[in-house]
Amino acid sequence: MYWVVNGDDSFEVLDGQQRTISICEYVAGNFSINFDGNPLYFHNLATRQHNTDANELWLYFQNVINWVKVIFPTYYKEMKGIEWGLYYNKFKDNHFNSNILSQEASRLMQDRDVTNKKGIFEYLIDKQEKHLSIRAFEDTDKREVYEKQEGICPVCKQHFEITQMEADHITPWHAGGKTIPENCQMLCKECNRRKSGK
């Protein structure tokens, strides 16, 4: 993003790609900045274009950057492109232990079951496992477990075709369970949804 000084000493953002993205975010209802309780996005910064300086906005960006640097002192390339402003707005008042976050980030980077490494940082902030895209069981593993169970759901004790069942971690991933055949059970779709609260 570039700031251009207008002839009247006001500022304007100059970045065509950013403006296009901003319009898409506006249509979706996503706002990059919440300033003084008002959602701002790049094409409505016009209300501030006649300000003689951009100090308030600059301070906001600096606060976001510094917050990220404090809670994640080790930089990973996967941190690029995350909507840090949104996380800052929502979680800036939460207490985060940067030592624990650093250890967890390193551990998760090494976890083969985590297929979306970029999601690690979002997960560490909001604890939503969906960011990690935990690796699913292989079809061959599902078939093997299905045959061992003889098509019987261990929860409801009913017989199902394999297409009516889903692979489930016996020990959940968040409790240390791995995506390996020994930690797989085939549940009917209804029992699996009840178990996982889907």
Q: Is 10 exposed, middle or buried (0-12, 13-18, 19+ CB in 10 A)?
A: middle
pTM across the whole model: 0.61
- CATH number where 154 lies: 1.10.30.50
- Total domain count, the chain: 3
User: So what's the pLDDT on residue 43?
Assistant: 45
Question: Does residue 17 lie within any of the structural domains?
Answer: yes
Question: Does residue 59 lie within any of the structural domains?
Answer: no
Range of the structural domain that residue 30 is part of: 1-53
Clarify whether residues 128 and 167 are in a common domain: no
Is residue 28 predicted with pLDDT exceeding 60? no
Clarify whether residues 47 and 100 are in a common domain: no
Q: What average pLDDT is seen over the chain?
A: 82
User: So what's the pLDDT on residue 168?
Assistant: 92
Question: Does residue 60 lie within any of the structural domains?
Answer: no
Question: Does residue 67 lie within any of the structural domains?
Answer: no
Clarify whether residues 124 and 144 are in a common domain: no
pLDDT band at 162 (very low <50, low <70, confident <90, very high): very high
User: So what's the pLDDT on residue 25?
Assistant: 55
Instruction: Give the contacts of 168 (CB within 8 A, at least 6 positions apart).
Output: 184, 185, 186, 187, 192, 195, 196
